[in-house]
Each structure stands twice: as C-alpha cells, then as structure tokens.
Structure 1
Amino acid sequence: MTSSFDRDSYEVDFGEQDLTGAEQERLVSGRAETADRDAEAALRPKGLTDFIGQPQVREQLSLVLDAAKARQKAPDHVLLSGPPGLGKTTLAMIIAHEMNSSLRVTSGPAVQHAGDLAAILSSLEEGEVLFIDEIHRMARAAEEMLYVAMEDFRVDVIVGKGPGATAIPLDLPQFTLVGATTRSGLLPAPLRDRFGFTALLDFYSSADLLTVLQRSARMLGIESELAGLEEISTRSRGTPRIANRLLRRVRDWAQVRGSGLIDEEAATNALRVYEVDELGLDRLDRSVLQVLCKRFGGGPVGLGTLAVSVGEEADTVETVSEPYLVREGLISRTPRGRVATTAAWKHLKMQIPANYEF
C-alpha cells in the first residue's frame, strides 16, 4: 500500500529532533534560523518534573502515566487543547519519554486520505505514542477510521472498488494517541469522546514565564539579570515559545550592541528594535488598534473590513492577533463588529472622542 507516512511523519530521537512545526507568531519575520530551531529543541524539558507551569495538567497527566506504568499497559489516549506555543508538542514528547517509548509524529493536514492513516497505524509498534498535531484538520474519512482504531485497535482496509470491494480487518498493537488542537470546538464529538484524558492548557503567568526564562538562560549560557528577564516575561503574551524566542533576540542585541549582559536596559532596547511594546503587542496588533481607532473612530468594524485595512487576511487577524487583543481588554467583539475599548485608546495615547460610546 502506498503511503505518505514517510513524507509527512517521522520518529523522534529525544534530544535531537525539533518538533516545533509551523511557527505561528510573527515577532520575527520569516522562518526561524536553523540555530534557533536547534536551540528551541534543546530547551524542551524531557520529563514532567522539568515541565514548568500548568500544575493541574501536570498532576493529572502524572496520575495517568503512573497508573499505566503500574499496569504495564499503554496509557489512555490524550487530547491536548490550547493556543499555540504552550507546550502541547513538548507534553507529547514527555508522554513517550515517561513511558520509555518512541514517538511518531504527523499532522492533521497531512492525513487527507484513509489510506494515509491506515499506513501510519499499521506501522506502529506495541506501546508507541502517535502524536497528531492540529488533529481537528484531519479529513473526515480518516477521522472515521480513527474511531475504530482508538477504541478497538483495528482498522478495516478496503480492497477493490464497487460491489466487489472487500473490507479486510487489520489488528493493531496497543498504542497511545496524543492529539493536539488549537480549536477543540471543531473536533467531532465521537472523536473527542474517545480520548481518555483531555487537558486544556492555559496561558502562563509572568511568574511562570520568568521561571522558564531563567531555566532557558542557564541552558543557553546567557548572562542575565532578574530585571532583564522580568521585562521579557511581561511582553511574552503568556506564551513560553514567544518568551524563549524573545530571549534569543535580546541576547543578540546584548552581544552586538550591548555588553553581553541581559539587563533591563538591554531588554527594553532590544524589544523596541523588534517592535514589541510593553503589553507584548507587535506591529500587526498595533496596526489593528490604530486602524480601528484612527480610521473608524473606535468601531464597530467588520472583520473583513478591518483585515483589508491592515493588509492581512481575515483569518490571520481573527486567529492570531484578535484573541490576544480581546484577552487584554483592548478590543471587544460585538454583533455589529469589532469595537475598541477605552484601554485601547489609552494604550495608543489617543484622546477618546467626546461622543464615543462603548
């Protein structure tokens, strides 16, 4: 059977592979350099004890894994849900590491045919962990095959076409599926219900991000002061991936234009160069706010009009920029469109119109 598995999935050798996937933040334009990708991979914790933040998820997952090890069986299937950059891929790696198993990785968009999934599943070995990133983007035919595979560890391979087609059942080894999604609401209920454990990852506090940065600075051999790392943590949008990326960019500035030490001044100057302001807003975020306030008087404005005005796709504004602006209380979504809050006017240092109603 022909499969796209070799092309779209791979097996992980812990400590050597980088599983970041498609980068979704726009803090630095273009793809990350190879050195940055290697550095990010090296910073991933290998076990649950090294994983920072998400204390409730860590405790729950620890119980699931410890119980599975005591029974000497594969743990239940795990669904990890949450915004990008919070550690879903890292947790999948940790699950495989804790179970002394290997990790197979693929993504929802890569599995567009039932045959692709059948080839992946049939190549698994006993106790392996299969990680499907963006699982909500799998094709419907593959999803329906996955139902039986998750529940009965079996796939039915269709041989032939038309009235003469025959379904041949193929038994699968016991495996653990780890699914990751940024939009759990798009998962069909039959698939969601087959996961034995579901974890919702939330944004990190500045204190947890500071701990992440301190660990990363030690591992990268970066000389830093607490004030400098605190400045980075408050501008990292509650996301460890962004925090580590900004740490490397501030390190670059400190080495080229500073003394090599990451202090508060170095962090502030470096983040100004990379257009990350004190709230963590980047250029696109500020463009959305400025268009909303300056051109449309604070709104309401439809998403399509807003996206055209800033020169971006509507999906980019809605999924990348808007969630953080809403979470920070800078814009509000109403039935009539997007509306700037008083906090947005204050952040832009603009005077609120006398007749403005929010």
Structure 2
Amino acid sequence: MSGGARERGFASEVVEADGSYEATARVVDPGRSEDDRVVEAALRPRRLAEFPGQPRVRDQLGLVLEAARRRGRPPDHVLLSGPPGLGKTTLAMIVAAELEKPLRLTSGPAIQHAGDLAAVLSSLDEGEVLFLDEIHRMSRSAEEMLYLAMEDFRVDVIVGKGPGATAIPLELPPFTVVGATTRSGLLPAPLRDRFGFTAHLDYYDVADLVQILHRSAGLLGVEADEDGIREIAGRSRGTPRIANRLLRRVRDWAQVHGEGHVDLAAAQVALALFDVDAVGLDRLDRAVLEALCRRFGGGPVGLSTLAVAVGEEADTVETVAEPYLVREGYIVRTPRGRAASPRAWTHLGITAPRSAPLQDLLPVDGDSDDTAPGRFGG
C-alpha cells in the first residue's frame, strides 16, 4: 500500500491519496480491533435463521440456498435492492456462510474498467461468492463483461490494440454473484435479467428493531431495559443501521452522564442531545420542513431552491432526507415541486396558512414531473 493509501471501511477497497480505488476483491479477513469486531457482530448476524425481519426475503433466500446445497451446485445469482442500512451486505455474508464458501467483496465504483473485473473474476475459485456493492455504479464496459461471466462463466480477455487485437476466452469456475443496489432502476435490463433471484428489502417495523437492539445490547454488554430499547427503536426510521448507531450513542451518554444503564430517561435525553426527535427526524429533516413551512409557506418549491435554503446539495436533500419524509407523509412531491403536508405543519407546531388544498397540487393521472420548477423556482 502506498504511503498515502488507507483502508476504506471493513472490506475490500483501498483508497489512494488521490481518491482512486484498488479494485481487487479480497477474502474477508480484516485485522480490526476487538471493539470493532464486537460492534460488527452486533450489526451482522452470521446465519439466515438469526437474521431478524424481512420474513419473506428470508424464506425465499433460504429456499434458494437449500435447493442449491441439495443439488451440490452454486445457487443462482442474487440481486438485493433497497434503501441503505437494511442488511444487504449482511445477507451477502450470510449467503457465503450458509454455502460454507469464501466471500469476496468489491464495489461498483472500484470497477471502472473491464480489466478490473477480469482480474477479480479470474481469481475466483469454484463456488465462491462475489459480492458487488453498489453494482449500478459499475462502468458500462465492465457490465458487458459481467453479462457473459454470469451467464456462461467465461470472459474474453483482449490482448493487443487496434487491428492486431486478439480476444482470448478465459473459462471461469461456477460462482455466485450477489449484487446490492440502492437504486435498482439504474441497472440495465440485461444485467438485471441475469440474476436468478431478486429481493427487495423494506423498512423494519418497531417490533423487529426492538429484537435487533436487544441482541446488539447483549453483544455490546449494554444494560438496557425494555422502555429504553423501545424508545430507540421508535426513533430509528425503520433502519437497523440507524438503530444500532443510536444505541451506541445512548450507551455513551449513559456511561458519561448516567449510571451506565440505558433506560427511557437516558434514551430521551441522549437522543435529544444528538438532534433526533420523537419520530426520528434529525437536523436535516427538520431543516427541510422548517424551510418549506416557514420560508416558502408550505410550497410548492423546487428541489434546488429548497437545497440552497437548508445549505445542502440537492442530491443530499433528495437522497438522504426526502425518502423518509415522503414515506412518512411529511412532504409531497408534486409536478410543481415539494410541498408540505398537514402532518408537517402539525409536527412543527405551526398553523397552516389558508391556501389551496394540497390535492390541487397533485397530478390528475398520478404521473408527476419531479424536475419541474416550483412556485419559488429551482
């Protein structure tokens, strides 16, 4: 590793000083500290039977893996889609564990050339599981090579340039690709069709998050009562990653300012300190609602104008704050821009102005153009 390089995350990529990635996939054997291992253990169950929530996905994936084991062959390629933090990487690790095969990890941004992918594929052994995170961000040339590799277990390596270039076919042992994406609509149809099993992970309900938090608290050695756990679960936006992060922050507060025990009072005070309100909205969420309601009279307002008002990039507002606010009914995406719903006014404790009903802003046929400028431009 070069002097300016550093490890990125827990898995496969090395980030160089110039921000580039090394694409080589690696068998997961990280040398992390014991505390890191404990935290990750809390986040990542090792077997399908231990995976909480997502019962339909769990049952379907279990059937696919069991059938493959009985046939003695690698299972079909698996595509996992859904919002961040719901367990796509964990399920990829579980697939490898259930098959008792090594897992290699890399990501779409790390594979920007067909040669990068060829190097990864040529190093696979029979039955190995290759996890491609953010698979929709692969380069087009790498995607086209992956089509052939997934279907025929073969890649064509180009040797030379120009008229003298020669394609040398390279046979690959059977393997399983597990792809993960937060934006399945960006995957080209030919790539999506080569996955034999596709699963979409949805947000978790509070009961599942309570189960996850109890398990995490036990692995982290955190003393927590039911009321404290349920308070954290209710503010976790249906996402296990957020739930575990909030649990650690409440633990920190309890150890520094409390008695080391996570109860309802500790959870409420700690989450207030970290700007997580009673329904799970954070600083950015509330800033978006405040801008919509106080500055723009409830909208509609264009995305770029809204982003400038809260001091964030438009992509950040659209991908980080907006999905949860829309799902929970705080804002509405209309053909004329974003508009605040009655629930947003109520949550902020503000009386909504007398104006046109919200339904008048919605498209008649249900087909909205979210890129159209709002009443305030953008």
1:294 aligns with 2:294: yes
Secondary structure at the aligned position of 1:329 is classed as coil
Q: CA contact under 8 A between 2:48 and 2:58: conserved in structure 1?
A: yes
Secondary structure at the aligned position of 1:216 is classed as helix
The amino acid of 2:250's aligned partner reads: V
Could you say which residue in structure 1 is the equivalent of 2:354?
354
* Distance change in 2, residues 1:128/1:312 (3 Å): same
Structure-2 separation of matches of 1:270 and 1:206:
19
Identity %: 69
Could you say which residue in structure 2 is the equivalent of 1:12?
28
1:122 aligns with 2:138: no
Secondary structure at the aligned position of 1:258 is classed as coil
1:183 aligns with 2:190: no
The amino acid of 1:64's aligned partner reads: V
Structure-2 separation of matches of 1:39 and 1:310:
37
**Shift, 1:218, TM fit:** 1.0
Secondary structure at the aligned position of 2:262 is classed as coil
Could you say which residue in structure 1 is the equivalent of 2:39?
40
Structure-1 separation of matches of 2:48 and 2:357:
49
The amino acid of 2:39's aligned partner reads: E
The amino acid of 1:220's aligned partner reads: L
Structure-1 separation of matches of 2:233 and 2:137:
32
Structure-2 separation of matches of 1:66 and 1:99:
9
Could you say which residue in structure 1 is the equivalent of 2:256?
256
Structure-1 separation of matches of 2:38 and 2:270:
19
Structure-1 separation of matches of 2:78 and 2:97:
15
Could you say which residue in structure 2 is the equivalent of 1:275?
275
Partner deviation per Cα, 1:109-162 (whole Å, 9 max, x = no partner): 110000000000001011100000000000000000000000000000001111
- Structure 2: 5+ residue stretches without partners: 1-11, 15-21, 359-378
**Shift, 1:40, TM fit:** 3.2
Partner deviation per Cα, 1:204-250 (whole Å, 9 max, x = no partner): 00010000001111111111110000000000000000000000000
Could you say which residue in structure 2 is the equivalent of 1:150?
150
Structure-1 separation of matches of 2:193 and 2:202:
21
The amino acid of 1:353's aligned partner reads: P
**Shift, 1:354, TM fit:** 2.3
Superposition pairs of residues 46-125 of structure 1, within 5 angstroms: 46-125=46-125
Q: CA contact under 8 A between 2:39 and 2:220: conserved in structure 1?
A: no
Q: CA contact under 8 A between 1:54 and 1:201: conserved in structure 2?
A: yes
Structure-2 separation of matches of 1:36 and 1:313:
34
Secondary structure at the aligned position of 1:338 is classed as strand
Secondary structure at the aligned position of 1:277 is classed as coil
Runs (4 or more) in structure 1 with deviation over 2 Å come to 4-9, 34-40, 354-357
Q: CA contact under 8 A between 1:5 and 1:116: conserved in structure 2?
A: no
Secondary structure at the aligned position of 1:259 is classed as coil
Cα RMSD for the two superposed structures:
1.5
Structure-1 separation of matches of 2:13 and 2:70:
32
TM (normalized to structure 2)?
0.87
Q: CA contact under 8 A between 1:17 and 1:41: conserved in structure 2?
A: no
Structure-1 separation of matches of 2:138 and 2:93:
21
TM (normalized to structure 1)?
0.92
**Shift, 1:5, TM fit:** 8.0
Partner deviation per Cα, 1:12-34 (whole Å, 9 max, x = no partner): 13xx578xxxxxxxxxxxxxxx7
What is the total number of aligned residue pairs between the two structures? 338
**Shift, 1:36, TM fit:** 7.0
Structure-1 separation of matches of 2:85 and 2:355:
40
Could you say which residue in structure 2 is the equivalent of 1:169?
169
